[in-house]
Chains A and B, each alone.
Chain A
Amino acid sequence: MAPAPELEAIGVVKRYGALLANDHIDLTVESGEILAVMGENGAGKSTLMSLLYGLQRPDEGRILLRGAEVRFSSALDAIAAGMGMVHQAFKLFDSLTVWENVVFGAEPRRGPFIDRRAARAQVESLTEAHGLRVDPDAIVGALSVGVRQRIEILKALYRRARVLILDEPTAVLTPQERDGLFAVMRRLAGEGRTILFVTHKLHEAMAIADRVTVLRDARVVARMRTSQTTQSEIVRAMTGRNVDLQISRGVAAAGAPLLEVEGLTVAGAGAKPLVEGASFQVRAGEIVGLAGVAGNGQTELVEALTGLRVPDKGAVRVAGATLTARDVAAHRHAGLAYIPEDRVAVGAALGADATDNLAMGFHRAAPLSHRGLLNVAAMVKRARELIAKFNVKIASERALAGSLSGGNLQKMVVARELSHEAPVLIAEQPTRGVDIGAIEFIHGQLIAERDIGRAVLLVSAELTEILGLSDRILVMYEGRIVADMARSQASEEKLGLLMAGRTAAS
């Protein structure tokens, strides 16, 4: 008899009320194998991962670890059994340092005390061994999403997980970081560890996974070997149709500058400013891409542009109105819509329903309110329309935002901000975590925004997205804008070098 598979799910069912999130799922992973789990937004991938990891109990079905049935009553049981998970939405303590987060719950001890020195040293060597660049002493709350992701991965590695579950781990990584992660994943698989890996990116699945399991509408619809399949076959399994993966767009006809930034500086805690003298313009009818490795000041720059942070120097003008040091409401009023990079922490209120979430920013004016009184019927109508237009998968417009899958939450945030029809749109990682059908749709919407004469600033860690959509590209490195070039002059290699702080040999 062949040895039992490392991890096996048999007939697993999970319901949320009337909604069937996992419908008799069978799944097998051998040790040393990397399995990609793919599917459209809301197909049930995260649900399945949380069942395997013991965060929730299946309503039916069994889960076997090395042939023995397991019933985890919490993630602690799963961790003890040698499983590790990196979540789609991170679970870190903001006020603690990086190393404290990594060792939390499994601290090295000396007598009754935590051996802080050993803990810190272990974390540091782990970051070096895996090429995950993080300062172990940094406070997590101050770090960007990209860096937090690395900490999550470190956490699982620190616990020496035998089975590693990664729910969209690459969504926030730059190409270099992603390659680094893949190297780590290969090494871990080589040591006989098992990796389950959720992704929306076909090339990633093809590059790293041995097999792909595709979910659609809560069911497994295909199981394939990457060596014996093609990207378009996976797409067809996921969506049931053919999807055009190429971004097609016309030429820009840029007009007057709508977003003007002059000498913007944001001081940091240390001597070095987080943003230093940033100057650029985004004109009507133009998409400007802002490239850069996460943590080089993009987040702070965008916060200063949107009024969430007061810049220390410099000026910001939106559609001609000078907004320096004005509050968020003034920015929004002047005509600025903003898709934030962190949909959970900033872009939505998970404990509020979709109607309330979709009203934010529109609630002070007709038709949603009149003289300070809300028009609840108009709010509901608006929510229904946006949910339909953006194809958000949700039980009803009164369902909590927290019940949405990651990609559907993203679609909700994008829907709300695009419907502002504001002259300036700042889109930070607009397609993070959405499926390929939705990427196609959101890209189409961004181009449509441009074509009707709006100014779009696109901040993305995804170089293909930057190169595919932008008319002009800025590169940010250590708080400064180090390059401003037309799309025609940019290439992946050139941007990669600039992002790493080297000047392109022109």
Chain B
Amino acid sequence: MSVLANFGGVLRAPPALVAIGVAVLVGGLLVLVSGADPLQAYAQIVVGALWPQNLPDTLNWATPLVGMTLAAAIPLRGGMINLGGDGQLVIGALVGAVAPLVAPLPGPIAAALALLGAGLAGGLYAALAAWGEIRFRVPMLISSLLLSYPAVGIVSYLVRFPLRDTTTGLPQTAMVPDGARLPILIGPLNMGVLMIVVIAALVVLVDRRTVIGYELRMRGANARFAAYGGVALGRQALGAMFSSGAIAGLVGAIIVLGGQFRYIDDALLSPAYTWSGLMAALLAQGEPAGAVLAGLFFAALQTGGFAMQRETSVPRVLTLVLQSIVILFLAVRGGLGKRER
């Protein structure tokens, strides 16, 4: 049976929790071997992530990460995979950064248009991968990833040359006008957080309560069964990939309009939101509510990692190792633990 074929609800608790437990143990051993104190390191992670005054930072980090988790979870729910999140993210971010510069509109309208355009661009670009699979039978796993590289390259070129803000020496676009920036909620938090919350709620709702969500879940459980029931698999793949890419594109625009106010080359990809998001979605086997929880968990882990690196001698790479161990452990269980029936 497919690893994805689980509808038990949130985060099939036992395996995921066991995986996290194992990761904590192995990570602790690694810290111990390297001569530091694992308890102290873990304490710093927890404090750094969850202490009240640190919480807003964690949420700020979680916004794009959870967004990319949702982007990964949607296709995964239907047994498909979108490895091209990076490409869709930068396309969305570029649209978000450029639209307010070129459209002479009042700020909020420009921002709304920029977000819309970013979602549309990311979505269409992701749908291209689905189209490649339907039309030319290039597996989406491959085409989505391969489409990502040219997107990243071209956007980088555009930012470095034609669209560069020539008043600075850096590869970045001009600042977007104040009015087109996302309003601040409190502290470092802006409207982007709310948008991701709304999107997450929508995705969960669609998954549980709508015909589209039902059909996607059934495809994930058995694609031939879905086809037999009258689900048009091609159209569905296009839809799932479009939604996934649209969220990725939107996340790109939120990063730009919410925090950096311009497209800074490399700044979007260096935190590797796409890959953390993909891991979180895998951890929950595509179930969106579980995926959001997993995304929040990873975000907390990563923000905690920064604090740990500041306060102890343990580098924050540890948290990424923990993340990988969780996934690896689950994958091994899924593969070897599979019982015949």
Please give the residue numbers on chain A whose beta carbons come within 8 Å of chain B beta carbons, in ascending order: 50, 55-56, 75, 87, 89, 91, 306, 308, 327-329, 331-333, 338, 340, 345-353, 356, 359-361, 363-364, 369, 372-374, 376, 402
Chain A residues whose C-beta falls within 8 Å of the C-beta of B226 in the assembled complex: 349, 360
Q: Which residue of A lies closest to B1 (CB)?
A: A351
Cβ of B209 < 8 Å from any Cβ of A? yes
- In the complex, the 7 A-B pairs of residues with the closest C-beta atoms, listed nearest first: A351-B5, A349-B221, A329-B230, A360-B229, A349-B222, A351-B221, A352-B221
B7 CB within 8 Å of chain A? yes
Q: Determine if B224 and A328 form an interchain contact, defined as CB atoms under 8 angstroms apart.
A: no
A329 to B109, CA, bound (A): 41
Q: Give which listed residue, A91, A327, A349, A402, contacts B340 with CB less than 8 A.
A: A91
CB distance from B75 to the nearest CB of A (A): 17
Task: Determine, out of B97-105, B211-219, B259-267, B326-334, the stretch whose residues face the partner at the interface.
Answer: B211-219
Cβ contact of A373, chosen from B7, B210, B224, cutoff 8 A? B210
B217's partner among A331, A352, A369 (CB-CB below 8 A) is A352
Some 24 contacts from A to B, beta carbons below 8 A apart, are: A50-B341, A306-B228, A308-B227, A328-B227, A328-B228, A328-B229, A329-B232, A348-B222, A349-B5, A349-B218, A349-B221, A349-B222, A351-B4, A352-B5, A352-B222, A353-B7, A356-B214, A356-B217, A359-B214, A360-B218, A360-B228, A372-B211, A374-B214, A402-B341
- Given A55-B340, A91-B340, A374-B209, do A352 and B230 touch, yes or no (CB 8 Å)? no
Evaluate contact between B209 and A376: CB separation under 8 angstroms.
yes
Contact pick for B225, options A327, A360, A373, A374, CB 8 Å: A360
Is B230 touching A351 in the complex (CB atoms < 8 A)? no
Which residues of B296-341 have CB atoms within 8 Å of chain A's CB atoms? Answer: 339-341
Q: Which residues of B contact A345 (CB under 8 A)?
A: 222, 224
CA distance A190 to B214 in the complex (A): 54
Chain B contributes a number of interface residues (CB within 8 A of A) equal to 30
A346-B228 in contact (CB<8A): yes
Contact A361 B230 (CB under 8 A): yes
A350 partner, pick from B211, B222, B230, B231, beta carbons under 8 A: B222
A373 touching B209 by the CB < 8 A rule? yes
Chain B residues 229 to 245 lying within 8 A of chain A, measured CB to CB, are 229-232
- Minimum CB–CB distance from A404 to chain B (whole Å) comes to 11
Interface: B6 (CB within 8 A):
yes
**Chain A minimum-CB-distance residue to B228:** A346
Contact of A372 with B340 in the complex, beta carbons under 8 Å: no
Q: From B209, B225, B341, give the contact of A348 (CB < 8 A).
A: B225
B5 touches A361 (CB 8 A): no
Of the listed residues A328, A349, A350, the one surrounded by the most CB atoms of chain B closer than 10 A to its CB is A349
Question: What is the CA–CA distance of A56 and B341 in the complex, to the nearest angstrom?
Answer: 9
Chain B residues with Cβ below 8 Å from A331 are 230
Residues of chain A contacted by B340 (CB below 8 angstroms): 55, 75, 87, 91
Q: Which residues of A sit under 8 angstroms from B7, Cβ to Cβ?
A: 351-353, 356
- Shortest B200–chain A CB gap in Å is 19
Q: Given the complex of chains A and B, what is the CA–CA distance between A506 and B1 in angstroms?
A: 51
In chain B, residues 101-147, which have Cβ atoms closer than 8 Å to a Cβ of chain A? none
C-alpha gap A341/B334 in the complex (Å): 29
Q: Enumerate chain B residues within 8 angstroms of A338, measured Cβ to Cβ.
A: 228
A363 contacts B214, C-beta separation under 8 Å:
yes
Q: Which residue of B lies closest to A348 (CB)?
A: B225
Known A-B contacts A89-B341, A361-B229; A346 and B1 likewise in contact (beta carbons under 8 Å): no
Please tell me if B34 contacts chain A, counting CB pairs below 8 Å: no
Given contacts A351-B221, A352-B5, A352-B217, contact A363 B228 (CB under 8 A): no
Shortest CB–CB separation between residue A3 and chain B, in angstroms? Answer: 32
A327: chain B residues at CB < 8 Å are 230, 232
